[in-house]
Amino acid sequence: MRRTVGVLVMEHIAVGLVETHKVLGALNIFPEKSQTLDPKENFCGCGGKGHLEGILGRRSMRLRFLDLEPEEVFENARAGDPRCKEFVTLCHRALAAATATSIHMEGPGTFFITGPDTKFIDIGLLDRFLHEMVKMSPLQGSRFEVVPTSDEMGIIGAAVNADRATQH
């Protein structure tokens, strides 16, 4: 693999140079001090609307549920709060729909879910919704896997995907 720049944009921006699936040198991180969340989702430029993060993001949960943080939304859903249960279903359906779109375009495979809020994902529910959306047997057979992440893993993944995209 040649040298490729990997960029991770989540709660912060992390950039590194990658070669042979390893980061060379130090990571560049902005902002330098760790923050718990980009409250207005400015790093991606969407302002919390227009893509999957607009449904699943912390800002989305705060806007939809006013004073509730994600932990409270999911806890209340488990306790039976209908509004919170509706949101949990919506976010799992949104993630399943995005995955189904990918499957229809690229074929089945393993989908890795990572990030700070993966503890809220119910893999069984997500899998059920996905299989409701992907009916053709040649496209079935995908699975989800939750993986812990780090800036380095995200940068390597971005670099590998960028390198693969230039090979086609």
- Please report the pLDDT score of residue 49 as a whole number: 47
CATH at 51: 3.30.420
What's the domain range around 101? 4-167
- Please report the pLDDT score of residue 80 as a whole number: 96
- Please report the pLDDT score of residue 58 as a whole number: 66
Q: Is 17 left (phi over 0), alpha (psi -120 to 50) or beta?
A: beta
**What are the per-10-residue average pLDDT scores of the chain (168 residues)?**
80 86 89 60 49 59 71 92 90 89 87 79 93 86 81 85 80
Tally of domains within the chain: 1
- Please report the pLDDT score of residue 48 as a whole number: 46
- 8 A C-beta contact, residue 6 and residue 158: yes
